[in-house]
Structure 1
Amino acid sequence: MKIVIVGAGEVGRYLSQLLSERDDDVTLIETSEETALSLEEEQDVRVVAGNGASAKVLKSAGAGSCDFFLAMTSHDQINIVACAIASKLGAKFTAARIHDQVYADNSVLNYQDYFNIDYLLNPEALCAVEFAKAIRNPERVAVEDFARGEIEVQRVEVAAESKLLGKPLRDIKFPDEMRVGYVQRGGKMFIATADTKLCEGDIVTVLGSSRNLFEKSRIFTGEKSLPKTSVVIYGATDIAISLARLLSHPRFQVRIIEPDLNLCKSIAENFPKITVINGTATSLKLLEEEDIGDADYFVACTRDDEENIMTGLQAKKLGVKHIHLTINKPDYEAVLSNMSEIMGLDLVLSPRRVTASEIFRYLSKEKYAKVGKLDDENVELIEVRVSENSKCAGKRIFEANLPHGCIIAALMHKNTSKVPSANDVISAGDRLIAISSKENVKKLVSLLVG
């Protein structure tokens, strides 16, 4: 595949290395001539020295005929402009790295659609989602997050206390924007129908709004209330702010420790239900005074790797059950990947690795992207963009004649995302998240793409 990358920072350099190693035709655009020269010696890629937001530079780099165009600089505006130009020139797929949450806010304008960009990705937000998955769902089977984080797919076990046992699904009034997709019973997975009756021990795949799915999924577990979870976050970074938003449910008791007093005041104003502590987690005295050792989770996400490691180890020694942290330096990544278990670290995330992992979900010659997985290897979660030639365009979901075993988990139409009902209309340009048996993926994609 022909891939053009703008920006040779940590993320861009890492992506170009991975892609060149798998024999893709990679062109890297970098403004610094010195960096460009060193990269030509380090990697087997074509390097163009120039402004990645210049139409002339992009054209000379082959952006108009590339399969994937990835704008990965640390400047949001440059990435957005570069992708808009590349799309106009003819790039088949464009992705822009962003940091400012302004561009993820679709309440007034959908920036992604307006600039004709296929994907906006925020490394800090992606890290926060990974942390949130582990914190919000530690005992359930799996959780995935789609549609800009607005839709979730959970897998939960039906308990003996559930009032749904023995009832056909047609007789159960599920909450709005919530439905059952697959049921796993005795090691076998099957699609749920109106006649399906749930049994104790069934693992059900539940689709719903991320705002309230965890609360509403208690109907399967029979829990009267969700247990409280104490989370301490060190560093009021973008990752911390995104994570705080994802943990806004009352079941999470969140505390943020931050040395900068002005940042503390800003966090306290924007998150009145969160306890903000002005101080440094490197102070053992502060951690002991705040009883940090009683917390369920300690998440160190400052921009200082050494502080993240040391405060994480200190929190572990005090008794915190789970330690999560972010790492930015490549050398530290390699060390911690081998030693995290010995050091008692439950989850170590690198923004560049999380970003690369997300992008690789889309770097495929197929007309769809794999966006998640379930325990059954014969079932796939895919994202498809509906084309104007699709046989389904303009039809309601129940009229689309989807292959057996296929479920539309999320429908993203312009500025809105939802778990669709059978009466929702599929329109050209919509992005759909579908759960499908492996054998029917190509048939489903053929219907949606044409």
Structure 2
Amino acid sequence: MHVVVIGAGEVGTTIAENLSPDHDVTIIDIDPERAEQLKYGLDVLTLGGDGTSLSTQEAANVAASDMVIACTDDDLTNLVACGTAKTLGDPFTVARTKSTEYLWTWERDNSAFGVDFMVCTDLLTAQDIVRVIGLPAAIDVDQFADGTVQMAEFEVKDESPVAGQTIEEADRFDSLTFVGVFRDGSMILPRGDTVIEDGDRTVVIGSPESVQLFASDIAPETTPNEADEIVIVGGSEVGFQTARLLEKRGLSPRLIEQNSKRARWLAEHLPDTYVMEHDATDTEFLAREHVDQADIVVAALDSDEKNLLVSVLAQRLGCARVISVVDSGEYVALFEQIGIDVAINPRRVTAEEITRFTFDKIAENIAVLDDDLAEVVEVELGIDSELVGRRIDELVQEIEATFVIGAITRNGSLITPRGDTKFRHNDHVIAFVETPFVGEFISMA
């Protein structure tokens, strides 16, 4: 597949890295020097120029492309770029936007802006935050098979009841599969005798109920039935959308916003959220408002530096759990190293959402884990699939690719995979796959 990526920032570069092993990728960036640098770092063609320009797109051969992904930091640039691409040919166009207004316009009429698929960064980030809030012990959560299957990644602390147990000892749930363990920057495919160690990141796939029960095993003190006391710091679009989604779940968060005009707007549009107009870095105010008693604090201010400060203050006050929005991917490791419970990078979330459209749109969902060491992939098995009629234990012996089948849904029902489980036509298969083998695995579907 020939893919043209417009914008070589963090999102565009991540997408190009994911696509280049299996597809022909051309990157357009307004900065010629940036484009030239990528030429040597990735196996892609690069072009310096304005991605909205007809002549630039013609030079990139957009007319013959299968997909155009516009993912610059400017919403209007992305929309215009997709519209321009449609005048040259009929590629599948994907636009990244921060504005929910553009998203809602497109959802009303999917032909709007010449965009075939739109990704709203702020809304995706808020949805990610809400998923993590719903499973407080997790550091990453994703839904598959229309919510029938859940993937969650947990960091095991020394005090966790499962630390020091083998996978066999920790696996006490019928509809749960341990699919991966990340340790010291490397990936381990778990066996029954694999010991779960302090600091491990353990990935499980199963029914939402079984994942919730496992979360209680991992950290019983931080996995309440519901997070009653949630404080959102920052009335940014991410903060607003997070509060709105929490209200839809019947929760009543508190939200701190310093700007009086924005605070008034938020109070008018969030009927079940208690909006406080104040500086969230004022420790006396935080103590007076009993923020230290919150189950979860979400730092959603407009800069990474402010979010870092608020997150550290919340931790020092004694908040049970802190989730921080980290716009720069380079800072994610820093937030985690100083002990912030969950760092959510909007650019990574956006890149994941766009990436799932790239394998000829066969993969229905893709989640990228631990700096792209592995991915969780959902595929529907076609009538000609190489997997149909095969047993799982046969595939493990015959295929060199590193993968674990985490779950299968068949006619809407969840099947926990076992060695003698046979794949059938129309099965939805959710698999944990080492990143270099993702293309190979998907092609088998």
TM-score range, shorter chain: 0.5 to 0.7
Paired residue secondary structure (1:248): helix
**Residues 334-353 of structure 1 correspond to what in structure 2 (within 5 A)?**
334-336=333-335, 340=336, 343-353=338-348
Equivalent residue number for residue 125 of structure 1 = 123
Paired residue secondary structure (1:286): helix
The farther-off stretch of 232-241 and 42-51 is 42-51
Q: CA deviation at 1:296?
A: 0.6
Work out the CA distance in 1 between the residues paired with 2:107 and 2:82.
Answer: 21
Question: Relative to structure 1, is the Cα distance of residues 323 and 94 closer, same or farther in structure 2, using a 3 angstrom cutoff?
Answer: same
Work out the CA distance in 2 between the residues paired with 1:330 and 1:235.
Answer: 20
Q: 1:3 and 2:6 equivalent?
A: no
Equivalent residue number for residue 174 of structure 2 = 185
Equivalent residue number for residue 245 of structure 2 = 246
Equivalent residue number for residue 428 of structure 2 = 435
Equivalent residue number for residue 189 of structure 2 = none
Question: Relative to structure 1, is the Cα distance of residues 407 and 104 closer, same or farther in structure 2, using a 3 angstrom cutoff?
Answer: farther
Work out the CA distance in 2 between the residues paired with 1:372 and 1:13.
Answer: 17
Q: 1:76 and 2:75 equivalent?
A: yes
Equivalent residue number for residue 12 of structure 2 = 12
Task: Output the amino acid matched with 2:174.
Answer: R
Equivalent residue number for residue 417 of structure 1 = none
Paired residue secondary structure (2:276): strand
When the two chains are superposed, the root-mean-square deviation of aligned CA atoms in Å is 4.3
Task: Output the amino acid matched with 2:323.
Answer: H
**Alignment size in residue pairs:** 333
Equivalent residue number for residue 276 of structure 1 = 275
Work out the CA distance in 2 between the residues paired with 1:294 and 1:349.
Answer: 23
Q: CA deviation at 1:133?
A: 0.5
Gaps of 5+ in 2: 152-172, 178-204, 213-223, 369-373, 383-407, 413-425, 432-441
**Residues 139-288 of structure 1 correspond to what in structure 2 (within 5 A)?**
144-145=142-143, 152-153=147-148, 185=174, 205=207, 227=226, 229-249=228-248, 251-288=250-287
Equivalent residue number for residue 59 of structure 1 = 58
Paired residue secondary structure (1:105): helix
**Residues 308-319 of structure 1 correspond to what in structure 2 (within 5 A)?**
308-319=307-318
Work out the CA distance in 1 between the residues paired with 2:283 and 2:134.
Answer: 27
Task: Output the amino acid matched with 1:12.
Answer: G
Q: CA deviation at 1:91?
A: 5.1
**Residues 386-425 of structure 1 correspond to what in structure 2 (within 5 A)?**
407=410
Work out the CA distance in 1 between the residues paired with 2:275 and 2:427.
Answer: 40
Work out the CA distance in 2 between the residues paired with 1:116 and 1:407.
Answer: 36
Equivalent residue number for residue 354 of structure 1 = 349
Question: Relative to structure 1, is the Cα distance of residues 77 and 307 closer, same or farther in structure 2, using a 3 angstrom cutoff?
Answer: closer
Equivalent residue number for residue 422 of structure 2 = none
Q: CA deviation at 1:262?
A: 0.7
Paired residue secondary structure (1:320): coil
Q: CA deviation at 1:20?
A: 7.7
Work out the CA distance in 1 between the residues paired with 2:131 and 2:288.
Answer: 29
- Residue in structure 2 matching 1:367, options 350, 362, 369: 362
Equivalent residue number for residue 193 of structure 1 = none
Question: Does the 8 A contact of 1:19 with 1:26 survive in 2?
Answer: no
Task: Output the amino acid matched with 2:64.
Answer: S
Q: 1:332 and 2:331 equivalent?
A: yes
Question: Does the 8 A contact of 2:51 with 2:81 survive in 1?
Answer: yes
Question: Does the 8 A contact of 2:132 with 2:139 survive in 1?
Answer: no
Work out the CA distance in 2 between the residues paired with 1:64 and 1:263.
Answer: 44
Question: Does the 8 A contact of 1:71 with 1:79 survive in 2?
Answer: yes
Q: CA deviation at 1:24?
A: 4.9
Paired residue secondary structure (2:247): coil
**Residues 33-112 of structure 1 correspond to what in structure 2 (within 5 A)?**
35-44=31-40, 45-90=44-89, 92-105=91-104, 109-111=108-110
Q: CA deviation at 1:232?
A: 0.8
Question: Relative to structure 1, is the Cα distance of residues 43 and 326 closer, same or farther in structure 2, using a 3 angstrom cutoff?
Answer: farther
Task: Output the amino acid matched with 2:332.
Answer: E
% same residue: 27
Work out the CA distance in 2 between the residues paired with 1:76 and 1:261.
Answer: 27
Question: Relative to structure 1, is the Cα distance of residues 144 and 41 closer, same or farther in structure 2, using a 3 angstrom cutoff?
Answer: closer
Equivalent residue number for residue 391 of structure 1 = none
Paired residue secondary structure (1:303): coil
Q: CA deviation at 1:145?
A: 4.8
Question: Relative to structure 1, is the Cα distance of residues 186 and 293 closer, same or farther in structure 2, using a 3 angstrom cutoff?
Answer: closer
Task: Output the amino acid matched with 1:359.
Answer: I
Work out the CA distance in 2 between the residues paired with 1:381 and 1:72.
Answer: 24
Question: Relative to structure 1, is the Cα distance of residues 96 and 155 closer, same or farther in structure 2, using a 3 angstrom cutoff?
Answer: closer
The farther-off stretch of 363-372 and 66-75 is 363-372
Equivalent residue number for residue 293 of structure 2 = 294
Question: Relative to structure 1, is the Cα distance of residues 73 and 313 closer, same or farther in structure 2, using a 3 angstrom cutoff?
Answer: same
Q: CA deviation at 1:77?
A: 2.9
Question: Relative to structure 1, is the Cα distance of residues 65 and 103 closer, same or farther in structure 2, using a 3 angstrom cutoff?
Answer: same
- Residue in structure 1 matching 2:132, options 99, 114, 134: 134
Q: CA deviation at 1:48?
A: 2.7
Question: Relative to structure 1, is the Cα distance of residues 299 and 351 closer, same or farther in structure 2, using a 3 angstrom cutoff?
Answer: same
Paired residue secondary structure (1:97): strand
Q: CA deviation at 1:21?
A: 6.6
Task: Output the amino acid matched with 1:350.
Answer: N
Work out the CA distance in 1 between the residues paired with 2:4 and 2:175.
Answer: 47
Work out the CA distance in 2 between the residues paired with 1:384 and 1:107.
Answer: 30
Task: Output the amino acid matched with 1:314.
Answer: L
Equivalent residue number for residue 378 of structure 2 = 381
Gaps of 5+ in 1: 157-183, 189-202, 208-213, 215-224, 386-404, 410-432, 439-444
Paired residue secondary structure (1:253): coil
Work out the CA distance in 2 between the residues paired with 1:269 and 1:331.
Answer: 36
Work out the CA distance in 1 between the residues paired with 2:304 and 2:318.
Answer: 21
Paired residue secondary structure (2:229): strand
Paired residue secondary structure (2:253): strand
Question: Relative to structure 1, is the Cα distance of residues 333 and 274 closer, same or farther in structure 2, using a 3 angstrom cutoff?
Answer: same
Q: CA deviation at 1:99?
A: 1.4
Question: Does the 8 A contact of 1:229 with 1:251 survive in 2?
Answer: no
Equivalent residue number for residue 187 of structure 2 = none
